[in-house]
Structure 1
Amino acid sequence: MGESPRLVATDLDGTLVRQDRSLSPRTAGVLARIAARGTVVVLVTGRPVRWLSQVYDQLHEPLPAVCANGAVVYDPDADRILRADPLAPELLAEVTRRLRAEVPGAVFAVEVADGRELRHDAEWPTLWDAGDPTIRVLSTPEEVASVPAVKLLVRAGKRDPDTFVRIVAAAIEGLAEATHSSYSGLVEISAAGVTKAAGLAWFCEQRGIAPAEVVAFGDMPNDVPMLTWAGNAVAVANAHPAVREIANDVTLSNDEDGVAAYLEKLFDLDS
């Protein structure tokens, strides 16, 4: 890219955010300086809307976000959902039916209300979300398909994530998209055609920004569509092999402020 990009798109967890879930002052400062120059900065994440406040609290100002792996485009200034592409109830019912038949012990959770609420099977591990009022247990297994969901989540005990996502993808082929963004054995399912690339492409189209004018950063398989779409794809050093394979460039790890370091050079900023 001979000129500075018009838009910077970055994943959060494992890319912009450190392992301790913090955002360094250096990174927050770089993003603020770039935005002040007129470059659009957008967060492109698997996170639901309700988890963005943890990052916004560490930024100089909230940034627009493509959430739930592309299913939701969010304007934080107006607290408004600009676009949502959920899985319809009938599709959820068929996908969960197939996965229950194919994957013994599968348990599910759904991101509903545009990702502001989570509903999950009783056996679902809630981890750090325990006690959160936006989260509740499903009354019956069938309730998982009662309303539209921007993301369906599936677990089945401890699984190799790359192997498990292939099993899930094969079972729902032609119905929905399956990917993963962690090493915990969690698979994330979106409506067919809904990816980070699709959500970011819509965001850019509204602003007349072409793929060649975008630099994107990522670390996990759910970032691959976005990185493939963007004109300049950058992997952090800790990235999954699938990401490093398709990236145009590699920067430092997330714990070393890799995104900030790359942007300082790209935009000729003083570190």
Structure 2
Amino acid sequence: MYKMIVSDLDESLLKDDGSVSARDLETIARLKRQGIKFVPNTGRGFASVQRLLDDLGTRGEAGQYVISYNGGAVVDNAHNEIVLAKPLPFEVADQIFQLAMAHPDYCAHVYTFHHVYVTRPNPVELGYLANRQVAFTEFHASDLQDFAGRDIAKVIFQHPEMKMREALRDEVAKTIDYQPTVSFSSNRYVEFNPAGIDKGDAAIALGARIGIAPDEIIALGDNSNDLSMIRKVGLGVAVANAIPAVKEAAGLVLDVTNNEDPVTALATKLRL
């Protein structure tokens, strides 16, 4: 029997307008009454998903959780208490940031464990952040010295072309003597997390903390940063709009996209 669903947000649970469908909210509430936990497992910071937790009915509730920063932090909703965390070494974050900022076309996001900082946001990116209700502080710098002494969860870079995102990944790999966890998300970002961090290990670690075995966990996702949880938990589930690699790794591929009540489709398919 499944006891926990961990779900990616953008392009998985959330519709293109950034909301959760009314049917999925009803389904999630029903599953919660049955004792099945529903845990957002996202690249976002936990502070930016508080409105979503309001919709899910888990904001501020003890024993309900969020996995943030692609597995970099596990947070208890009761007091937004970080119960598991691993930061990106500052020197590494600074090196990656400086490499990216040497190119004029990247927009950068720096995630501390409590806030998001953005430099060079273009109009399209500003619209995307507004749609996702992400609160951020804009800053202007060619390095991260202003962040020295602060824990950095991850750094990510937005560019509309995949070849440019891949080029930055390759440049970091050739230049920096550290192997960050690299993933691509939302068809717009290349993300650099601490080595060894992924959504799958975080889901399993949370399960171990609360007495849920890996084979009792379902993971729902769509993109490459979801692959680890799709592969590592009991049942990996892909939405119909998922990239081919996620569909290939999933034990179940839904017939519906993120815009068509994916959690309800999942629950119906599995008779939850």
Q: Secondary structure at the match of 2:138?
A: strand
Alignment of 1:38-57 (within 5 A): 38-57=35-54
Conserved in 2, the CA contact under 8 Å of 1:119 and 1:138? no
Q: CA deviation at 1:89?
A: 1.2
Counterpart of 2:143 in structure 1: which amino acid? P
Aligned to 1:208: 211
**Equivalent of 1:199 in 199, 202, 217:** 202
TM-score, length-normalised on structure 2? 0.84
Cα distance in 1 for partners of 2:15, 2:135 equals 27
Q: CA deviation at 1:41?
A: 1.9
Conserved in 1, the CA contact under 8 Å of 2:97 and 2:144? no
Aligned to 2:118: 120
Deviations 1:154-212, CA, capped at 9 Å, x for gaps: 23x5322xx3443333333342111121123x211101111111221211121232221
Alignment of 1:223-234 (within 5 A): 223-234=226-237
**Equivalent of 1:60 in 57, 60, 64:** 57
Cα distance in 1 for partners of 2:266, 2:76 equals 26
Q: Does 1:266 align with 2:256?
A: no
Cα distance in 2 for partners of 1:106, 1:5 equals 41
**Gap regions ≥5 residues in structure 2:** none
Cα distance in 2 for partners of 1:119, 1:5 equals 37
Q: Secondary structure at the match of 1:242?
A: helix
Aligned to 1:137: 139
Cα distance in 1 for partners of 2:20, 2:144 equals 39
Q: Secondary structure at the match of 1:239?
A: coil
**Gap regions ≥5 residues in structure 1:** none
Cα distance in 2 for partners of 1:77, 1:209 equals 19
Aligned to 2:180: 176
* Gap change, CA 1:109 and 1:223, over 3 Å in 2: same
Structure 1 outlier segments of 4+, above 6 Å: none
Q: CA deviation at 1:70?
A: 0.8
Cα distance in 1 for partners of 2:190, 2:13 equals 21
Q: Which moved more, 1:143-152 or 1:69-78?
A: 143-152
Counterpart of 1:84 in structure 2: which amino acid? A
**Equivalent of 1:151 in 154, 169, 191:** 154
Counterpart of 2:23 in structure 1: which amino acid? R
Conserved in 2, the CA contact under 8 Å of 1:164 and 1:187? no
**Equivalent of 2:18 in 6, 13, 21:** 21
Conserved in 1, the CA contact under 8 Å of 2:204 and 2:233? no
Instruction: Indicate the percent of aligned positions where both proteins have the same amino acid.
Output: 27
Cα distance in 2 for partners of 1:228, 1:36 equals 27
TM-score, length-normalised on structure 1? 0.84
Conserved in 1, the CA contact under 8 Å of 2:199 and 2:225? yes
Q: CA RMSD in A?
A: 2.5
